């Protein structure tokens, strides 16, 4: 089989991965989207309580909207701001459904290599098809030949450490039970009790940090949040690169 006849593997069925698959279809290239989670947008659903800083008009790919149109799908109010849960349910799920068997869930990619090439043999490596090793949720394993691989798995499973230079801060691992790398869902009573009446340091100057600070401020003003304080820690000035 010619390499050009092989599918292009896309790792991750989130907004980027699904959009990539749609654009491949438009170009006559067969995509195969491999999602480790149980359904499309699994990582996005994990922060379903967080509202995006972008509107519906900015988070719907035009090519994806075109593919969805025959099903009767219509884009929500372009000026409205969806939550992660709304984005996943009202856009990513229908898009995955439209792509059909081009999307596999419960399929974790554990390795990518080149056919017949390894650390010893690498002659003509760039001319060989990719080999994608997949482990399925039911315990099966498979190796898939691909013409190309697009990694759209994102960083949800590998958040940035608290320290500088991309390394953990001194003592970060030892204090792991008091550190979270996610925006807290303060509507969850258990999570809310962890932060209410306590001082919490928020590190970073990105959208997640802004959201966490806003949630803590709301908690501090609520009836059960007396004594709640937030400390904002920045590695550089607010106008710097984040």
3-7, 45-49, 214-218, range with the lowest pLDDT: 3-7
Q: Does 181 share its domain with 91?
A: no
Largest CA distance in the chain: 68
User: What's the structural domain count of the chain?
Assistant: 2
Measured CA to CA in angstroms, residue 53 lies from 69, 77, 150, 190, 200 at distances of: 25, 15, 26, 26, 23
Q: Does 145 share its domain with 186?
A: no
Q: Does 144 share its domain with 185?
A: no
Range of the domain at 19: 3-151
User: Mind listing the pLDDT tens digit for each residue in 68-112?
Assistant: 999 999 999 999 999 999 999 999 999 999 999 999 999 999 999
Proportion of the chain above pLDDT 90, given as a percent: 84
Work out the pLDDT band at 242, boundaries 50, 70, 90: very low
User: Mind listing the pLDDT tens digit for each residue in 195-206?
Assistant: 999 999 999 988
Distance between CA atoms of residues 143 and 132, nearest Å? 5
Q: Does 207 share its domain with 91?
A: no
Could you tell me the two tokens for 226? 């007396």
User: Which of 116, 151, 186 is a domain's end point?
Assistant: 151
Which domain CATH number covers 60? 3.50.50.60
Q: Does 108 share its domain with 46?
A: yes
Distance between CA atoms of residues 43 and 13, nearest Å? 9
User: Which of 122, 151, 180 is a domain's end point?
Assistant: 151
Q: Does 172 share its domain with 212?
A: yes
pTM of this prediction? 0.88
User: Strand pairing of 199-203 and 148-151?
Assistant: unpaired
Q: Does 18 share its domain with 120?
A: yes
Could you tell me the two tokens for 92? 């990513």
Q: What is the mean pLDDT of residues 121-125?
A: 88
User: Which of 130, 151, 172 is a domain's end point?
Assistant: 151
Q: Does 16 share its domain with 59?
A: yes
Q: The sheet that has 130-136: what strands, in order across it?
A: 107-114, 130-136, 141-146
Could you tell me the two tokens for 17? 């991965």
Do 72 and 44 meet the contact criterion of CB atoms below 8 Å apart?
Answer: no
Q: Does 14 share its domain with 132?
A: yes
User: Mind listing the pLDDT tens digit for each residue in 136-167?
Assistant: 999 999 999 999 999 999 999 888 899 888 89
Q: What is the mean pLDDT of residues 58-72?
A: 96
pLDDT in the model for residue 4: 86
Q: Does 14 share its domain with 44?
A: yes
Q: Does 142 share its domain with 62?
A: yes
**225 SS3 class:** coil
Beta-bridged to residue 131, according to DSSP, are 113, 145
Q: Does 135 share its domain with 179?
A: no
């Amino acid at each position: 089989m010619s390499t050009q006849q092989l599918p292009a593997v896309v790792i991750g069925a989130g907004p980027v991965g699904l959009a990539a698959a749609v654009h491949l279809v438009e170009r006559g290239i067969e995509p195969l989207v491999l999602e480790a989670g149980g359904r499309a947008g699994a990582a996005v659903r994990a922060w379903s309580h967080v509202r995006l800083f972008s509107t519906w008009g900015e988070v719907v790919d035009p090519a994806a909207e075109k593919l969805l149109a025959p099903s009767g799908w219509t884009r929500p109010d372009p000026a409205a701001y969806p939550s992660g849960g709304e984005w996943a349910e009202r856009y990513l799920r229908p898009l995955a459904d439209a792509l059909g068997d081009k999307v596999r869930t419960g399929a974790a990619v554990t390795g990518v290599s080149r056919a017949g090439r390894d650390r010893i043999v690498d002659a003509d490596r760039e001319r060989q098809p990719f080999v994608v090793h997949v482990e399925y949720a039911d315990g099966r394993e498979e190796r898939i030949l691909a013409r190309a691989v697009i990694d759209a798995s994102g960083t949800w499973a590998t958040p940035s450490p608290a320290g500088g230079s991309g390394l953990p801060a001194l003592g970060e691992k030892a204090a792991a039970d008091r550190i979270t790398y996610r925006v807290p869902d303060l509507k969850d009573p258990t999570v809310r009790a962890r932060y209410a009446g306590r001082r919490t340091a928020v590190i970073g100057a990105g959208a997640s940090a802004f959201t966490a600070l806003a949630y803590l401020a709301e908690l501090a003003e609520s009836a059960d949040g007396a004594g709640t304080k937030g400390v904002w820690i920045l590695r550089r000035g607010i106008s710097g690169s984040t």
